């Protein structure tokens, strides 16, 4: 059973900020580009919070190594890029069904405490990550997938608009959040950088242009689930 989320007393549920969707920043590391053939090797999810100024901030990260499913393929070039040895004895990888179950449990819990109706995946080239997440869920027979089946929020497009950059490393540099080449292509590192970029763009837009007031409305206490 998952441990309860320890919320700050000033917790401000995401609720209406994105029309009832909870943005969850996801990055996957894989054995190739085809979600139907290549192995899912690592997945990370970054959860966000709203601070007192209604700014989005990075909260916590869940990162899981995933054992290649039986019959999966792996492209040596992809493994060279991400530096993963899928069968290293110290890798502590989860079977794919357990990893996806753990990930989805964490996401569903965040959806609940933020009084949202569903999660929406935020990613850099989000369609890639979304494809691997949904295909793994289908392969494992998981019915309660908390992510929207096709919608996503893509920081490639947002970074092109805000910074004139589309490559994650260049967008991070343009955003002033820095980049560590040695840490890149770790799902947790890439997801956290993507989260920082997403938060910065959303916050700059809110401060400079503004967002509709209903998007900032907090749910009334009686609307919140017990324990939130």
Catalytic residues: 185
Minimal CA–CA distance to 25: which of 158, 214, 160?
158
Helix (H) or strand (E) holding 210: none
The DSSP result for 35-100, as a single string, is: TTTBPEEEEEEEEEEE-TTS-EEEEEEEEEEBPPPTT-B--HHHHHHH---TT-TTS-PBPHHHHH
Return all residues near 70 (Cβ < 8 A) that are at least 6 apart. Answer: none
């Amino acid at each position: 059973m998952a441990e309860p989320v320890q919320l700050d007393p000033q917790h401000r549920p995401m609720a209406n900020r994105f029309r009832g969707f909870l943005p969850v920043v996801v990055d996957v590391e894989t054995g190739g580009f085809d979600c139907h053939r290549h192995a899912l090797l690592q997945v990370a999810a970054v959860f966000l919070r709203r601070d007192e100024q209604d700014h989005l901030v990075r909260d916590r990260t869940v990162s899981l190594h995933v054992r290649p499913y039986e019959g999966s393929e792996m492209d040596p070039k992809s493994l060279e890029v991400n530096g993963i040895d899928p069968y290293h004895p110290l890798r502590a990888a989860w079977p794919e069904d357990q990893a996806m179950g753990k990930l989805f449990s964490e996401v569903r819990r965040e959806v609940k405490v933020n009084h949202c109706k569903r999660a929406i995946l935020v990613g850099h080239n989000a369609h890639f990550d979304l494809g691997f997440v949904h295909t793994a869920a289908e392969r494992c027979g998981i019915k309660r997938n908390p992510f929207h089946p096709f919608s996503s929020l893509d920081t490639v497009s947002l970074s092109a608009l805000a910074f004139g950059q589309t490559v994650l490393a260049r967008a991070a540099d343009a955003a002033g959040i820095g980049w560590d080449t040695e840490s890149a292509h770790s799902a947790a590192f890439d997801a956290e950088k993507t989260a920082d970029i997403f938060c910065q763009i959303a916050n700059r837009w809110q401060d400079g242009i503004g967002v509709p007031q209903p998007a900032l409305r907090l749910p009334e206490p009686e609307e919140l689930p017990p324990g939130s």
